[in-house]
Structures are given as C-alpha cells and as structure tokens.
Amino acid sequence: MAKPGPHPRNRHGGRYDFPRLVAACPALAPFLRPNPVGEPTVDFADPRAVRLLNRALLADWYGLASWDLPEGYLCPPIPGRADYVHHLADLLAGERPGPLRALDIGTGASLIYPILGRKEYRWTVVATEVDPGALAAAEAIRAGDPDLAAGIELRRQRDPGRIFAGVARPGERFDLCLCNPPFHASAAEARAGSQRKWRNLGKGAGPRPVLNFGGQARELWCPGGEVGFVGRMMAESARDPQLCLWFTSLVARSASLPQLQAALRQAGAARVRVIPMGQGQKESRILAWSFTDPSNRTG
Ligand code: SAH
C-alpha cells in the first residue's frame, strides 16, 4: 500500500535547507554535522540540536523569534505537526467559513499546534495543559509574539483525568479540537519506546537518554495509553456534543483504531473520519468525529 506523503501545503520540502536555517538562526551553526555524503545535517538524537532546528524553522517560516523550550520537554518534529493542522483546515473547509476557533488539548511546552494554526490559518486557539512547567514555557512563547498573544489563550487543566471539563466554559463553542495524546500506558513502556527510538537512530552503544529527545515522563504516558486518553475524550465529547463541530485526535498506533471506532459508534457520533498521515518513516493518523451531520439538519 502506498504510504501517505506530506500534505501538499506543508512548507517542509522533504529535507531541511540548513544554510537557509542557519541564516534564520545563527545559533544553529555549531550543531551542523556532515552526513555520510558530506551534506550538512544535525544529530537528531541531540535535544539541543533539535531545539535549535525548531527555533530556526519557526524563525524562517513565520519570523517567530520567541520560540524556545526548557530542557527536558518534548521537542516536536515540526513538519509532522504541521501536517495535522493542514489536514484539519481541509476537513473544515466548506463547512465553516473564515478563521477557525480551535481547542488544543495538551499543548505542551512548545505550544506547537497553536503556533501552526495561528500562523498558517489565522485560527484563534484555546490551549490546555496539565503540567505547570510546560504551561509556563508555552506562556513565554505566547507573550513574546504580539500575534500569538492576540490569538492564543492558555488554560490549565487541574485534573489529568479530564479533557474538556474544567477548561471549557459553559456554553462555549469551538469549530474543532485537536490533540496529540500521551500514548504509552506506563512509565516503563514509555522508557522502552524511547530506547527503541534511540536504537533506530543508530545509537545502540553508549549512554542512553532517560527519555527520548527530551520529554517529561508524564508527557508520554497516561492510564490506558492513547486508547485510554482518546476514550476519555470521546466519553466527554458525547456529554457535550456541541462543544466542537469536529473532535479530533492523533492516533499513533493503528491497532488502537478498532476499539476507538467502536466507542464512537456507541457514543452515537454522526460522522467519523480516519485521515492517514506520513512523514519519513513514521506513519500516523487523525481520528475525527462529529455529532453534527449537515445532511441531517432538523432545525
Ligand atoms: N501538543 C504537544 C505535546 C503533546 S504531549 C506536541 O504535540 O508536541 C501530551 C501533552 O498532554 C503533555 O504536555 C501532557 O502534559 C498533556 N496532558 C496530559 N493529560 C492532559 C489533560 N488531561 N489535559 C490537558 N493536557 C494533558
């Protein structure tokens, strides 16, 4: 089966243009290394290098100067994150005119989805997070850029077992929600996953990071893993079905889909979509559901 490629509107042309990125962010220069054929690259297993790569990319794409990440937090691969936002823009196109109002569940220290939604499509975004350190880092990025400050609001979720409750205000409405859930079911599983990633980068020997590429333990796992998290999201969405026109989440494992799709049928979702995504070797998918069926309007 053909693997899905990057979204056609993704600004990332398949490979990083390092000379251009260094021009946008000179601090990246000391981290450049030649790859086996002598072209510049960075060590993707070095969190400092990946952090500066992200900083450079956001400076180059959007002129954003305020992006940074404290040590130890999840450093997202930006091209893959951008694909999710582009696919959501397509999903909502034709259904909702004008800039969308989005709810980002678990925005992380990087504030990555709100930045992409704002800068690519002028979305206004409410972003939630349970981790106070991540929230403070996200707030520093937001406050450092007037456009982000105008279009993004951060809210702390005090109960990690809840998704919308406690952060959405009574009667509040969004066009969509998006989420990259913690996908491991335990700290031990998260650690094993990190070690697998580490080996795939050819770092079998030598000291191993405690976690992958930065990433606080609780960013990577929650009770029940991604099925648990997205399942809780579904259950809450069914209780407040008009909160979002489209509820969406990433699902990292295809094996998680059958159970989640069954839960959606049971919850009475009117529309369900699975949108495949792929960047490099990594495949993922968006699971989207809506309790509103435009072909079935009664009022
Ligand atoms: N969106 C970022 C971070 C994803 S990691 C990215 O794509 O890189 C998942 C994030 O969800 C973590 O930052 C974690 O602290 C947060 N989180 C976990 N449970 C949550 C909950 N119930 N509500 C909001 N955020 C939560």
Q: pLDDT tens-digit profile of 137-148?
A: 999 999 999 999
Structure tokens at 9: 């509107």
DSSP codes, 240-299: STTSEEEEEEEE--GGGHHHHHHHHHHHT-SEEEEEEEEETTEEEEEEEEES--GGG---
Strand, helix or coil for residue 101: strand
Residue 203 has pLDDT above 90, yes or no: no
Which alpha helices (H) appear in 25-111, and where do they start and end? 47-62, 78-92
Q: Which of 69, 74, 184, 194 to mutate to test the pocket of ligand 1 (most atoms within 8 A of CB)?
A: 74
Average pLDDT over residues 247-273: 97
Best of 75, 112, 113, 131 for a ligand 1 pocket test (most atoms within 8 Å of beta carbon): 131
Between 98 and 169, the more confident residue is 169
Residue 210: pLDDT band with limits 50, 70, 90 = very low
Confidence of residue 279 (pLDDT cuts 50, 70, 90): confident
Cα of 107 to ligand 1 centre, how many Å? 6
* Predicted pLDDT at 93: 96
Which of 72, 79, 34, 24 minimizes the C-alpha distance to 51?
72
Q: Terminal CA-to-CA distance of the chain, rounded, Å? A: 43
Q: How far is the CA of 23 from the centre of ligand 1 (A)?
A: 32
Task: Report the distance separating Cα 248 and Cα 103, nearest Å.
Answer: 10
pLDDT value of position 298? 52
Structural tokens at position 283: 């495949």
**Ligand 1 pocket, residue 230 CB under 6 Å:** no
pTM of the predicted protein model? 0.92
Ligand 1 mean position, distance from CA 294 (Å): 31
